[in-house]
Homo-oligomer: A and B are copies of this chain.
């Protein structure tokens, strides 16, 4: 008797706590109620069944409460409405997922150009790019060039008049030589008028027109040599 009263009170409290002024029920009640002494010998079976059923209801209510928490835009706090909104929300998510998936598929198949089917991109394409390595690491690689140092075959720096210095250099073509060469010239912050790199049959020819005075010629040559040397010997001792 008093048990029921207690439960009702608690149920009301929790209810008011959860949602003010909404529905009467819906509290996760009985959380600490249901202390049947189980001392009554007659209603033993019924009392156990009662508490069991009570727990069952409590569990289902908790689940529904959790469901309500997961679903946005819950219109009504109704049990049935909650389930309804959950269904609609799931359908919405599913449809959206299909759309997005289709979009990705479309992007993927946006290459109607014939041949690439028989081609496996995994090896071909982005060896350098698709590695999870960050760009710094990539530069790191190209810089820590125990890999393949620049073999400078010839370097000529001449002044052509009109504030123009021409740098002409040849080196043997190795992996990343071109990249490194570009890096060198980028790092020097020169006023490059025009630059040209041509590679052919194992050798690589680079010609750069630079806006500079005649006096800067030797300095320029030194700078280039130093930069290449610095690039060749590993600046990071962490090799091995």
Contact = CB atoms under 8 A, between A and B. Distances in A.
A218 B113 contact: yes
A125 B120 CA distance: 11
Binding site secondary structure of chain A: helix
A155 interface: no
A83 to B, nearest CB: 4
A113 B235 contact: no
Given A87-B70, A218-B116, A129 B96 contact: no
A97 interface: yes
A160 interface: no
A39 interface: no
Given A71-B90, A115-B215, 8 more contacts: A93-B94, A116-B218, A116-B222, A125-B188, A126-B126, A135-B235, A193-B200, A194-B199
Interface of A: 56, 59-60, 63-64, 66-67, 70-71, 79-80, 83-84, 86-87, 89-91, 93-94, 96-97, 100-101, 103-104, 107-108, 110-111, 113-116, 119-121, 123-130, 132-136, 138, 175-176, 178-179, 182-183, 185-189, 192-201, 215-216, 218-219, 222-223, 226-227, 230-231, 234-237
Smallest CB-CB A-B distances: 4 pairs: A110-B121, A128-B187, A63-B83, A135-B236
